[in-house]
Structure 1
Amino acid sequence: MERKGRAHPEWVMMSDRGVSAAVIARLNDVNPEYVREYVRRRGEALRGGPAPTRLALHDRPRPRPSNWPDPDRRWRARLEELDRFLQEHQRRPHARRSDDSRQTGSEWSLAHWLITQRSHHRAERLPLHRERGLDRVLPSWRLDDRSIENESNWRLRLVELLRFLHDHGRFPQHTDMPGDQEKSLAVWVYAQQSAYRAGTLEPERLQWLDRQVPRWRPVREQEERQGSSNSTP
């Protein structure tokens, strides 16, 4: 009597991967015709569609040789180099024009490698696993040195404004004295108000100003906010 045994859904997967019915039958001690019939009847329902097209032997992708070059090997080496630099110097690498040493391994070379990663990211050509690697080593890698410097200067100006408010109890005003610190602060406050009205003030800076300097907004904006708060039940 011919043995049928018990069919398994794995037969469909094995058949789709190129395993012949004869091999599947021999592994499961069943008749090859039973395997073919099961794959034909149940295959489409299990896989959710028709069977994939079988590739001829010469069209099948060959396994990658063990000595195949790793495209990320050099990139990972540069990332490790960046990590060591950060640990040693506690700062980012900088590319100064006066640097004489620009060969691989120098600070100049490492800084330009980081610039290249940002360029690839902006062009959406940086693979996700590389983004994650950079996030792990340097979370702020997406920001260039100029952006970081501008943000630092902005926060320093905010501290100066807070100090002025504490010392004088009022906002800085425009004066006619050249080089006057109060005039410089007044111009800075006006620039923030102008950026807010134009909708170009960054959300994080807006939060900083609202939290630290509640009355910094233009007068009309303050009146509107005050009116809306009074009308709230």
Structure 2
Amino acid sequence: MPLPHVAPATLAIMGTPDRFPVRRIFCVGQNYADHAREMGSDPDRQKPFFFTKPADAVVDGGTVLPFPARTADLHHEVELVVALSGGGTDIPVADAAGLIFGYAAGLDLTRRDLQAEAKKAGRPWDMAKGFDRSAPIGPLTPGIPPASGRISLTINGDPRQSGTLDQMIWNVPEIIAELSTYVDLRPGDLIFTGTPAGVGPILRGDRLEAMVEGAAPLLVAFAG
């Protein structure tokens, strides 16, 4: 029996037909103080924590997505995503920005009802965060992301999330450095860097626009 051919997940890159190969996806939880509070946490006492999504959760913008199965409470979380062209372990904060290939607007889609059930039972969040097409990401802008600037999300033209990148509890170089104490970061790794307050439900038929300063808008819609 022949071995299956599995194409790697890739992301579009602004200004070129080339595509960025995705190796792994890491996500930072509750990295904006206002979002940490709306989720019932104390941001003044919390170091960054991380979870993952599978690489093939990536989906390009401009896509109509099927509404995910097994949820009645799908939530949006707009995030700055950084893509790495270098890596290592125990990376100094001062060296971290030099490992960044580019950045983009992304959505950490969350089956909030499944997450709540998992938390209550003390179980992993995998099926709440790592499901199919749970990581829509816009085209990568090559270079280092801005340290400040707007991050926002609208649904059907109505504002839902709005903040600034300098509201992060841990900034991008600090996130990279801290994550590298847990894993050996490699080229192709993506990092979702957290979401501001205002997370909430997505309904069938909704059209979302995610915006991050300096990056191309991310547009996705959900089938009715």
Fold conserved between structures, TM > 0.5: no
Q: Which has the higher contact order (CA 8 A, sep 6+)?
A: 2
**Which is richer in strand?**
2
Q: Under a length normalisation based on structure 1, what TM-score does the superposition of the two structures give? A: 0.18
Q: Under a length normalisation based on structure 2, what TM-score does the superposition of the two structures give? A: 0.19
**Which is richer in helix?**
1
